[in-house]
Structure 1
Amino acid sequence: MAAPTGGMAGLNSLGAAEALSVAEALSLPAEAYGNDPNVEMVWAMKAYQHAEVYFNLISSVEPRLLKLTKTDDVIYTAFRDEFPDLRIDVLDPEDLKSPAAKEKWRPFCMKFEHEVEDFNYGTLLRLDSSKEYYEENTIFATRIQFYAIEISRNREGYNDVIFHHRRKEANQ
């Protein structure tokens, strides 16, 4: 994954006091902020860090062996029951963002409100599972959508290409 640019590099420079301040600020209710661009930047940095950690995981560990949550089996079964024909190797943004898709995703996501911590947090999701995170290959999704799609990609072998590519690079 490419190095963060612009404001993304700032998160890595936070000291313990600053990180504690950010964590405390993020624990306040959303109404306390309005549309504060600083809060939006912190959330974007947090989403980027999550994406970076996840990509490093699927690059280092055989994806079929990964367990992302304690409820992976439940998430996978519910996802494939609700979206049996959804193409996950290369996602169509309309399958997540169109009004019809949002109506279908909403009840699915709400099933996990009390099962998955931060189920509705904003998360970055790769559109093409064979490629890294970069602007044109990334969409904003909820955490439970990320889990549903990435657990499925791991189990169905779509993320294997990332793992094998990194492994091949390491052996050269």
Structure 2
Amino acid sequence: MSQNHIQEHIDLIAKHEQDFLLHRTSAERLGDSIAGFAGSLPFVCIHLAIFAGWMAFNTVSSPHLRHFDPPPYSLLGTIVAIEAILLASMILMRQSRMSRRADERDHLMLQILLLTEKEITAVLGVDRQIAERIGLQQVAHDRNIEQLSQDTSIDDVAQTIKDTLPSD
């Protein structure tokens, strides 16, 4: 396979991914940005610094400081709980969108595989006919090649898999 052909595939995949990203709503983009930042080391460091500063400010005794959230830091706990709810919601929304994208990829892959199976079956049929015409009887009537050149029932394969795999 030529490098140019490979690059065409890479470009096509990149285009599909770019299209997916471009078609997000502004709310989805905001949620993705927040969820992405929440999963980063700077997010953790900022929170550690805020928590340490909050606790130090509300613990250290000084005549110039007025403690607004003394231990056990109820206000901080409430803020963190609200933040956790919002972050969890944004992360779940992002995961849901990513799951939809994965489903789209799976459907595309299934379509490509089904098309490939049909094409290969057709090519094997033609190859068998060519082998027959040029006198390669052993190849033309090879049992494995004959079986592979028959149409595959996707429904039968799916049912066999379903019957074979253990159920939950």
User: Where on the TM-score scale, by shorter chain, does this alignment land: which range?
Assistant: under 0.3
Larger radius of gyration: 2
TM-score of the pair, normalised by structure 1: 0.24
Higher relative contact order (CA 8 A, sep 6+): 1
Please identify which structure carries the higher helix content.
2
